[in-house]
Structure 1
């Protein structure tokens, strides 16, 4: 599956210049823009910074015919097609999605790297969408990554600082950060472990347990640093807040009993800790010698079971069972008298319910043209929560 791209160009003042003839890129995922930058240069000789998605011919990713907005800073020699496009400002538009936004962020990052004695010789745009913008910055001293995120993810820098001080090498090295959501990260060797097998997932779970055990003694400091507190009743209130505009009839009983369910989870005896929030193998990067957990923007203080549920989410029950058993055994050993397996069972429907609320939060904080990124996720997660809620929780 690929994408067909129509790229509407603007100058540095945001004035529309027209659109390049459509071209195809191999990457199907809408937020990946490296292929768009390469395609514009290869097919049309145009250097461009992709700003944002304008329109899609389908309701959700991946693939399709997509229209993006891109900025050029030099004259365009190729003929452009006049196209109607609404370029009016929007209050929810990300800083990197505005003309000159990428240039300002790259100027900050190159300045920080120069200060660190790592001058930049080339920059490559990799991603832009409502949740982040990512560039690679190369130089003689290696590569670094610039990531800029919206306000609800800005605690990622605080988490990375905490990881560096308490559990070095478990997360990317933070080189710099500012109050505009920009973070500068040192390169992590290896590849994202989307294809991790059951053995590798078991190792990820074991490593993460040690981290969460340490973090349990630091939750007050993490919350004070800006990490969202979704522990206990705070989680129920947060879920209800973001799902309030939606049809939640499929999970009405689950929502009505949510406080009681979370009280039962608390009675299982496990401590609140740092939760990654999206611990699938693709958010783990490794090179055969070490593994580093990346993308901590979804993190919060809450129950550790959310991460093992995410890590085993796509596995068949027979494959997930040994990982869950090992996870429970570790917590029983470290917290005598606790009942980790019952906590997992109680939280199974809450996990997709939390994701539904998270996607609802994203939608409430992005402009309408980018809604297709997440619009289908809310009902899908509500359906998954309803299905899990029908399962019988085994007795103590």
Structure 2
């Protein structure tokens, strides 16, 4: 379903100019901004940066969507706008990249770092995505393409994880950071394409690469937690999901029994013998880039310390049952070689409903840390995953 996009437009000083006439955009995903910016440039001849979501339909994606945007073009060149009511007051949960002037501040920082790195000036900067989880720009510098990524505070450990992975020798399997400043990262270009449509072979290859990372990380759990990686090992995750179910869930005997039985379930999972390690947290093919031979794993903002089974369960979503079984079998075999005597298959069976609870807790965390106008991105996810947990119990 395409988007009908309206931009409430600010001038270079942050003053509200009004709303532009709507434009049609084929790409349905609300966070994707490149097509919006291109449509506005084609129709009105102005350059804009999208700041944040203002209004959206109940169901994601597509539909009629309104964003706040900003232009640095002179007001004399702008098309006619209509009056629009927008609350321009700040919000404590708003990241800097979603504030007036935020994109320019990030691009100025990137330009300074690229100059220091002798990449030359930025010839073109395309805002690819912006939402409550990240802002991503493709920068065409004289020495080649570079990516600028900025994340909110609750993903602040992502650059830390990338630095740790590079230091441990996994530089070819993850994005390379060229520069970092808090939540801002300049990342080197990666060859290939985003692998959303990957088949079994590529999924298996990503899982095998990730296994090597998890083996190394299993010996570094204390250090990783000390570096700021969230601790979602059994007892801590039990606390988190219990709060979520108490807050969100309506009375559901299956869900209540599942949550009440988590201590015993974790004890059984621990008896299976797999170590806690670094969990990517969202290990699907779309979070990898490359080709059929080599893939680099992207987007470590959801990462945490916990059970390695969470990642293979994510990798087996949206595939046929035979493909899912093949992926789990290969994953289990690798762990049996790494930890003789462990029982990965039993661990996975025990972990399935917990994974759904963990997903619900992840989205609840997003909702607790983003401003209300961005809630439509995730509002339906918590009850959905709580229902999935009850069904899997």
Same fold (TM over 0.5): yes
Q: Following TM superposition, by how much is the alpha carbon of 1:287 offset from its aligned partner in structure 2, in angstroms?
A: 3.1
CA distance in 2, matches of 1:83, 1:313: 42
Residues 270 and 335, structure 1, Cα contact 8 Å, conserved in 2? yes
Q: Deviations 1:349-379 (Å, cap 9, x if unpaired)? A: 0111101001001011111111100000111
The residue aligned with 1:74 is 73
Q: Following TM superposition, by how much is the alpha carbon of 1:304 offset from its aligned partner in structure 2, in angstroms?
A: 0.5
SS in 2 for 1:249: coil
Residues 133 and 149, structure 1, Cα contact 8 Å, conserved in 2? yes
Residues 5 and 65, structure 2, Cα contact 8 Å, conserved in 1? yes
2:38 equivalent to 1:35? no
The residue aligned with 1:112 is 113
The residue aligned with 2:5 is 5
TM-score (norm 2): 0.96
The residue aligned with 1:309 is 313
The residue aligned with 1:238 is 240
CA distance in 1, matches of 2:180, 2:259: 38
Residues 60 and 375, structure 1, Cα contact 8 Å, conserved in 2? no
2:39 equivalent to 1:16? no
Q: Following TM superposition, by how much is the alpha carbon of 1:242 offset from its aligned partner in structure 2, in angstroms?
A: 4.1
The residue aligned with 1:86 is 87
CA distance in 2, matches of 1:142, 1:243: 48
Residues 129 and 135, structure 2, Cα contact 8 Å, conserved in 1? yes
Q: Following TM superposition, by how much is the alpha carbon of 1:263 offset from its aligned partner in structure 2, in angstroms?
A: 1.5
SS in 1 for 2:391: helix
The residue aligned with 2:392 is 388
Residues 268 and 342, structure 1, Cα contact 8 Å, conserved in 2? yes
Q: Following TM superposition, by how much is the alpha carbon of 1:248 offset from its aligned partner in structure 2, in angstroms?
A: 5.0
Which residue of the other structure, out of 218, 229, 250, is the alignment partner of 1:227? 229
Residues 12 and 73, structure 2, Cα contact 8 Å, conserved in 1? no
Residues 243 and 360, structure 1, Cα contact 8 Å, conserved in 2? no
CA distance in 1, matches of 2:293, 2:315: 21
Unaligned runs of 5+ in 1: 390-396
The residue aligned with 1:278 is 282
Q: Deviations 1:265-290 (Å, cap 9, x if unpaired)? A: 11110011111000001001113442
CA distance in 1, matches of 2:18, 2:218: 54
- Structure-2 change in CA distance of 1:26 and 1:106 (3 Å): same
2:271 equivalent to 1:267? yes
Instruction: Report 1:309-328 matches (<5 A).
Output: 309-328=313-332
Instruction: Report 1:248-263 matches (<5 A).
Output: 248-250=250-252, 251-263=255-267
TM-score (norm 1): 0.95
Moved beyond 6 Å, runs of 4+: none
Q: Deviations 1:156-194 (Å, cap 9, x if unpaired)? A: 111111111112211000111112x11111111111111
SS in 1 for 2:29: coil
CA distance in 1, matches of 2:159, 2:260: 35
CA distance in 2, matches of 1:247, 1:256: 14
Q: Following TM superposition, by how much is the alpha carbon of 1:238 offset from its aligned partner in structure 2, in angstroms?
A: 2.2
2:340 equivalent to 1:336? yes
Residues 3 and 24, structure 2, Cα contact 8 Å, conserved in 1? yes
Q: Which moved more, 1:70-79 or 1:327-336?
A: 70-79
The residue aligned with 1:392 is none
Q: Following TM superposition, by how much is the alpha carbon of 1:207 offset from its aligned partner in structure 2, in angstroms?
A: 1.6
Residues 195 and 291, structure 2, Cα contact 8 Å, conserved in 1? no
SS in 2 for 1:91: coil
Q: Which moved more, 1:305-314 or 1:209-218?
A: 209-218
Unaligned runs of 5+ in 2: none
CA distance in 2, matches of 1:65, 1:259: 45
Q: Deviations 1:99-158 (Å, cap 9, x if unpaired)? A: 001111111111111111112221110111011111111112111111111111110111
CA distance in 1, matches of 2:14, 2:274: 53
